[in-house]
Structure 1
Amino acid sequence: MAKSEVFEKEKSKLTHIFKDVEESKRKLVEGLIDDAAFLKAENFDLKLLLQETGMIQIHPSQRHLQKPTEAARQYLKNVNSYAVIIKTLNGVLAKGMIEDDDDLSEFE
């Protein structure tokens, strides 16, 4: 799968999740959805590279000397950023659900 396909798949998935959310909130999170899709696609490529190279470099003669690769560092940064974005998006969804529940409770 190409990076652009991963981007479009993730963007489509997140957009679908937010399809029933109030329009103003949907507009508010459009950028976060794009950022999440971008990070997912970037990590797709990084993950393929890391499968070949591994996440750490081991010194050839002194095996106790190790250091993470730059790709591994970036992958972990991206994962953390992606997690924060998804948590934020989930918070927007949860807030919408709580408000919907509150509206229904008035009629009981």
Structure 2
Amino acid sequence: MSKKEIFEKELEKLKEIFQDVEISKKKLVEGLIDDAAFLKAENYVLKQSIDKTGMVKVHPTLPEIQKPIEGARQYLKNINSYAAVIKTLNGVLNKGLVEDDDELDEFE
């Protein structure tokens, strides 16, 4: 799959998830949805590269000498950003939900 295809697939998935969310909330998270799809596509490409190179370059004769691969660093940064965006989006999805029978309600 190409990066563009991954982006479009993720964007479509997220928009489908948010299809029943009220319009004002949808408008609020439009940018985050785009960012999540972008990060997913970027990480797809980075991961393909990391699969070939590994995350750390090891000196061939002195294994104690190691050098992190820049793509791996970026991948980890993107994963953290993606997780934060998804957590925020999930919070928006769950914001309007009311839990029916909370066991703690009995103690009030």
Amino acid at match of 2:11: K
Q: Displacement of 1:62 after TM fit?
A: 1.1
Amino acid at match of 1:35: D
1:92 aligned partner:
92
Q: Could you state the TM-score of these two structures normalised by the residue count of structure 1?
A: 0.89
Counterpart Cα distance in 2 of 1:78 and 1:25:
25
Q: Displacement of 1:67 after TM fit?
A: 2.2
Q: Could you state the TM-score of these two structures normalised by the residue count of structure 2?
A: 0.89
Q: Displacement of 1:59 after TM fit?
A: 1.4
Matches for 1:1-108 after TM superposition, within 5 Å:
1-98=1-98
- The SS at the match of 2:67 is strand
- The alignment covers a number of residue pairs equal to 100
Counterpart Cα distance in 2 of 1:46 and 1:97:
36
More helix by share: 1
1:8-40, Cα deviation, whole Å (9 max, x unpaired): 000000000000001000000000000000000
Percent of paired sites with the same residue: 66
Q: Displacement of 1:97 after TM fit?
A: 1.7
Q: Displacement of 1:61 after TM fit?
A: 2.0
Q: Displacement of 1:96 after TM fit?
A: 1.9
Amino acid at match of 1:68: P
**Alignment RMSD:** 1.2
Counterpart Cα distance in 1 of 2:3 and 2:97:
33
Gaps of 5+ in 1: 102-108
